[in-house]
Chains A and B, each alone.
Chain A
Amino acid sequence: MAQVIRPAVTTPPTDKGQSFKLVVFKRFFSSKVNLVAFVVLMLITLISLGANFVCGTLLGQAYDTIDLPLLNQLFPQQPPYPPGLGGHLLGTDYIIRDVLARTIYGGQVTLAVGYLTAIIVIVIGGGLGILTGYVGGWVDALIGGLMQILVNLPIFFLMIILSFIVRFSILNIALIIGLLSWVGTARLVRAQVQSLRNREFIEAARVMGAGNLRIMFVHLLPNVLFSMVVMVGFDVGAAIVMEAGLSVLGFGVQIPIPSWGNQIAQSKSEWETNPALWALFVTLLSLYLVASGLRDALDPNSQQIKIAKKKKEKAL
């Protein structure tokens, strides 16, 4: 993933009489592409969260991540059903498991990785970034060293080696990927806080008697929050790509649990591959669109806003 590390964002000029958050919110949803991408992302989340309801009640397919060796003993391999046959909307694989149900359950892995990474990146990356940027000194040196190590580590290869020790399930793969991918955000936040900490408003807060904790979380955090959120979007994309890549190679989430990477790697018929490929495509694209839409909404010089202003001028 391309992680474009931008220079410290100075707070953009807001429109008259409106808070910055409201302006960004309005700018973000004024673009139709952003709106569609956001809605699609939320839909995918909802479907994956309610996978039991969607598969069990709406599609009539029960949870079918069955133990593979046992199943092979009971049934000899048979030709898979093509799409539409026997109530299977997207067909089945070679041991008669519904492809649509597996794709929907596979989304759980991807979204668990995505959301857990987001939480970990915000908490650890943001927290350590603010701490190192504000405190400096030996704390900065120590945690900066840790960041240097994590930046230069070929994480994908390390994950393959880790898969020998840990048998990856949904939760622990999400945790490990999240714990390895907070560095970019932490560095960005650190750079911004370093440029902010000697400003007048921080000095004023200190004169007013605010403690270090209060300055960090009440005065500094809101200033770096939005650029942090943008960065989190790109980090989440990278994490999802990594999980899919690992599963494609067979080192990710293990076989009985369906994931999109597994499906791409192990499918033997074409209708089995397509849903996973399309699901990955739609998820990654909408995620990237949301992240870059947020970036544009935050950036006062972006083209979208200029176009919107021109439209307003024309209308006036």
Chain B
Amino acid sequence: MTAYILRKLLQSILLIGVVLIINFFILRLTPGNPYDTSRYLDLEKNNGKALTTQQQNDLTQLKNRSSIYFDPAPEAFAQWAGRVMRLDFGYSVISGEPFTPRLIRAALNSFWLLLFATLVGAILGVSLGLYAAYHPNSWQDTGIKFFALIVIALPGWYMLIAFDWFNTQLWLLTGKNFSIVPIAQTYEQSQKLDPNLLLFWQNFLPIFFLGAILLALFWGQTRSQALAVLNQDYVRTARAKGLRGGRVLLWHVLRNSLNPIISIFGGLLPFVFASQILIEKYSGWDGLGQMFLGAASARDYTILMAVFTLLVLVCVSCSFLADIALALIDPKIREKYQGGINLKIAQDKEEAENTP
């Protein structure tokens, strides 16, 4: 097991390095840099006169700050990576201020959004799935099935926009709505509401729409697995031995139905991030997505690289954890590596003999 974990860990570190290098060189390919832009703007402002000493000083400072654009690419990457290793993401190229505190705040905000979305998705999905498995083909089951179909087919940000559209229609018809951002005419009405309730609702909507796809996933897996497991002998034995329904559900049914979800969740994260950036934009959630978008429109390399690094770290470490969890659950994967490296080499030889 230790050999397996070490092997996966080394692979993950290598993977992070390769992905970051690829991204860095793509960023270096982009045209334009802040030094040229502000020099051009200054010249335009002076109406053809030469630059003043103040302006020249500012420009030199800017050039020093944006060395990531001008150094030879390998050197720039090495310097950047060295600083990141010391957890210092450096200065924002555009504003010239250190942005690490802002990055941490944004990352925490995004992390809460993702965490609560996962929790909402997991808890609601698993409980609805178990309910559906106990009452198959009831109208509740059909209703959840329809909801899950729409949620899987459409992304979370689309649901948020569609929800807004639905609100407008409702407001046109009845004068009431459930919007996050109060529609202009109903602002006074929203003032009358309990502020805590409003805060809860404003936070709940993005969380729910981000977690909806996870909800559908958990629902589907739990339902099908629980349906397959419920009539098995060991569940009946557990019931006959006098175990309570809840314990049978949690310990015997649920544990056996969660294996595939772990492997799916690791691969799903990049898609969830893509949905999250749009949801953050449309709900005004001050997270990594907003920061990335702001930096993208200003072409701020350092912020772009920092956000990208964090995301890659999260993705890779999640798939690493998923691999470990799968090995803990699945004895087949564990046994393959249990004999240490020697056994692996022997297996590889055997495999090589078998291959044509």
User: What is the 8 Å Cβ interface bit string for chain A, positions 179-205, against chain B (1 contact, 0 not)?
Assistant: 000001000000000000010000000
Q: Which residue of A lies closest to B228 (CB)?
A: A301
Contact B308 A154 (CB under 8 A): yes
Contact B356 A4 (CB under 8 A): no
User: Quick check: is B182 within 8 A (CB to CB) of the other chain?
Assistant: no
> Which residues of A are at the interface with B, using a C-beta cutoff of 8 A?
1-5, 134-137, 148-149, 151-158, 160-162, 164-165, 184, 198, 206, 212, 237-238, 241-242, 244-245, 248-249, 251, 264, 270, 273-274, 277, 280-281, 284-285, 287-289
Instruction: For chain B, residues 337 to 356, give those with C-beta under 8 angstroms from any C-beta of chain A.
Output: 351-352, 354-356
A176 to B173, CA, bound (A): 44
Residues of A within 8 A of B354 (CB): 198
A12 to B252, CA, bound (A): 30
Interface segment, one of B59-67, B192-200, B272-280: B272-280
Residues of A within 8 A of B19 (CB): 149, 152-153
A184 to B271, CA, bound (A): 13
Q: A5-B264, A153-B19, A156-B270 are in contact. Are A264 and B161 (CB under 8 A)?
A: yes
- Residue from the list B11, B23, B153, B275 in contact with A148, Cβ < 8 A: B11
Q: A136-B351, A245-B274 are in contact. Are A273 and B30 (CB under 8 A)?
A: no
User: What is the 8 Å Cβ interface bit string for chain B, positions 129-158, against chain A (1 contact, 0 not)?
Assistant: 000000000000000000001101111011
A135 to B162, CA, bound (A): 48
Query: Can you name 18 A-B pairs with beta carbons within 8 Å?
Result: A2-B152, A3-B268, A148-B11, A149-B22, A152-B315, A156-B274, A157-B274, A161-B26, A161-B30, A165-B29, A237-B153, A249-B293, A251-B296, A277-B161, A281-B154, A281-B162, A284-B153, A288-B149
User: Quick check: is B31 within 8 A (CB to CB) of the other chain?
Assistant: yes
Residues of A within 8 A of B264 (CB): 2-5
Contact A160 B15 (CB under 8 A): no
Tell me how far the C-beta of A238 lies from the nearest C-beta in chain B, rounded to whole angstroms: 7
Contact A152 B30 (CB under 8 A): no
A134 to B213, CA, bound (A): 34
User: Quick check: is B311 within 8 A (CB to CB) of the other chain?
Assistant: yes
The 8 closest A-B pairs by CB, nearest first: A156-B274, A288-B153, A164-B30, A154-B311, A152-B315, A241-B155, A136-B355, A154-B270
User: Quick check: is B250 within 8 A (CB to CB) of the other chain?
Assistant: no
Q: Which residue of A lies closest to B18 (CB)?
A: A149
A162 to B25, CA, bound (A): 11
A161 to B26, CA, bound (A): 8
Instruction: For chain B, residues 292 to 327, give those with C-beta under 8 angstroms from any C-beta of chain A.
Output: 292-293, 296, 299, 304, 307-308, 311-312, 315-316, 319
Q: Which residue of A lies closest to B356 (CB)?
A: A212
Contact B355 A135 (CB under 8 A): yes
Contact B154 A285 (CB under 8 A): yes
Q: Which residue of B lies closest to A280 (CB)?
A: B158
Q: Which residue of A lies closest to B32 (CB)?
A: A164
Contact A151 B267 (CB under 8 A): yes
- Residue from the list A5, A151, A165, A245 in contact with B30, Cβ < 8 A: A165
Contact B268 A2 (CB under 8 A): yes
**A152-B319, A160-B292, A212-B356 known; 12 other A-B pairs, CB under 8 Å?**
A2-B268, A135-B355, A149-B15, A153-B312, A154-B273, A154-B274, A158-B26, A245-B278, A249-B277, A249-B278, A249-B281, A288-B152
Contact B351 A238 (CB under 8 A): no
User: What is the 8 Å Cβ interface bit string for chain B, positions 9-20, against chain A (1 contact, 0 not)?
Assistant: 001000100110
Tell me how far the C-beta of B223 lies from the nearest C-beta in chain A, rounded to whole angstroms: 11
Contact A206 B161 (CB under 8 A): no
